[in-house]
Amino acid sequence: MKLRIYEAQLYNKWVRLLLDTGEPNVTGFSDAWADARYVEVKAESIEQAARLLARDYPSEAGFVISGIEELPNSNEPRIKVVK
């Protein structure tokens, strides 16, 4: 099966909570994790992409995956050029 490229939006809920309440961030993760980040992953399906992301960004560590979508074929331009 061909690998597809997926993009996930995720953040860390513990970092977000600490920063929102004015507490120091003692999680060991950067303050930048309070904001949504976009991460690309190659997988055969969206389900596999979700599993890979959950492995690399575990919910037990405060990570929240708020969305996953398949990106267009990486061999094709994402922006259509009009001449």
Q: Domain residues of the chain, as ranges? A: 4-64
pTM given for the model: 0.81
Residue 79 has a pLDDT of: 54
For residue 31, is pLDDT > 60?
yes
Phi and psi for 77 in degrees, rounded to 5? Answer: -65, 140
Share of the chain above pLDDT 70, in %: 87
For residue 11, is pLDDT > 70?
yes
Alpha carbon distances (Å) from 80 to 74, 76, 77, 83: 13, 9, 7, 10
Alpha carbon distances (Å) from 34 to 5, 24, 62: 25, 13, 10
